[in-house]
Amino acid sequence: MIENLWLEVIRGNKKYIVGGIYRHPNQNIDEFNNLLDQSLSIIRNTKAPCIIAGDINIDLIRHSSHNSTADYVNNLLVNNFMPTIIMPTRITDSSATLVDHIYYCEGSNSKRDVNIKSGNLWCDLTDHLPNYILIVNKYITIKRNLACVRIFSDRNIDKFKKVKSEINWQQLYLLDNVNSANQYFEDLITRCYHSCFPLTKLSRKCSKDKMWITPGLKLSSKHKNKLYKKWLKSKTMKDELNYKNYRKLFKQIAAEAEQSYLNHHHHHDAKTAEVRCDDSP
C-alpha cells in the first residue's frame, strides 16, 4: 500500500495532475515500485502533465550501486517522469542523502510552452531541506499586485485631528432620525479617515517582509544562514556549536522584535480609536 494523494488542477484550458507520496523507510522498495508502476500507467493514459512529489525515503544518490533504487528510477524514466531534484535533501553530521523527490512529466499533449525550475532551499527548520518546483509560462509575464497599507504616522494623525475639527456638525443636529444621524456621522468620519490615511502600495521588497523584520534582523538572518551552510560543508563540532548558539540567540531576538511590534501596533490602534472619538459631537 502507498500513502498517496492525487489532485487535478485546472488553470484556464490546461489540466495538471499533482501527486503527493510518502514511503515509509521500512517498506520494501520493490513492492513500492510495483505499486507505483500501476499509478504511473494510469497517469500516462491521461496524457496530462503531472507532478509527483514526496518524502520517498529512497536515496537517489545510490541509483548506480543499488539495484532496487536503479529499478525505481528506471520505472519513472520509462513513464516519462524526469527527476527535478538532483542535490541532497537531507544532510546530517555524517551523511547526505537525496530522499525527497519531485518528478515532472510533460504529458503527450504538451505544447512545450513552459520552463521548469526547481531546487532545494537552505533552511534549518527541519533536517530535510524544502524542495520546490516552478512551472513558468514562457510567453506570459505575471504582474504581481502589491499589498496596500495605511500609514499612521504622527503627521497623518495630526492631519486627521485638524480635518475633523473643521467639520461643520450643524447638519447633524438638524436630523431627527437617530439612524440617519448615525449614518451621517459615520460617513463624515470615514471620509476624513480615508483622506488622512490613504491606502499606499508597499514596494516589492517591503511587501515580502514581515512588519517586525528590521534591517538588523535581516543581516542577522543572512549571517545565521551562512553559519548553517558552513556547518553543513565542514561537519565540524565547532561550526555546529557556533551555528546553534547563534540560531538560539537569533530566535530570541526575533521573537522579542515581533512582540514589541505587536504591542506597539495594539497601542497605535487604541490611540487612533481615541483620536477618532475625542472630538465627536
Please state the rounded mean pLDDT for residues 40-59: 92
CATH class held by domain 3-137: alpha beta
Task: Render pLDDT for 196-222 as a digit per residue (tens, 0 to 9).
Answer: 999 888 666 555 567 778 888 888 988
What would the mean pLDDT of 156-183 be, rounded to a whole number?
90
pLDDT above 70: residue 262: yes
- What number is the average pLDDT over the span 118-143? 83
Which of the two residues, 211 and 188, has the higher pLDDT score? Answer: 188
Residue boundaries of the structural domains of the chain: 3-137, 150-199, 209-278
Average pLDDT value over all residues in the chain = 85
Residue 64 in this model has a pLDDT that exceeds 70: yes
Q: Give mean pLDDT, residues 25-35.
A: 93
Q: For the chain, what's the residue count? A: 281
The pLDDT value recorded for residue 36 is: 92
Band the pLDDT of 19: cuts 50, 70, 90: very high
* pLDDT score recorded for residue 274: 53
Mean pLDDT throughout 258-263? Answer: 83
- Please tell me the distance from the alpha carbon of residue 60 to that of residue 80, in angstroms, as a whole number: 17
Q: Predicted confidence band at 28 (pLDDT cuts at 50, 70, 90)?
A: very high
**Percentage above 90 pLDDT, the chain:** 46
Q: How far is CA 275 from CA 29, 196, 262, 279, in A?
A: 67, 13, 20, 8
Helix axes 154-165, 237-278, angle to 10 degrees: 10
Q: What are phi and psi of 61, to 5 degrees?
A: -65, -25
pLDDT of residue 203: 65
Tell me, what's the pLDDT at 265?
Answer: 66
Task: Tell me what the mean pLDDT of segment 77-103 comes to.
Answer: 91
Using pLDDT thresholds of 50, 70 and 90, give the confidence band for residue 190: very high
**What is the model's pLDDT at position 159?**
92
Alpha-carbon gap, residue 244 to 50, rounded angstroms = 39
The strand pair at 50-55 and 14-22 is best described as parallel
Flag the least confident range among 52-66, 112-126, 266-280.
266-280
Q: DSSP state, 19?
A: E
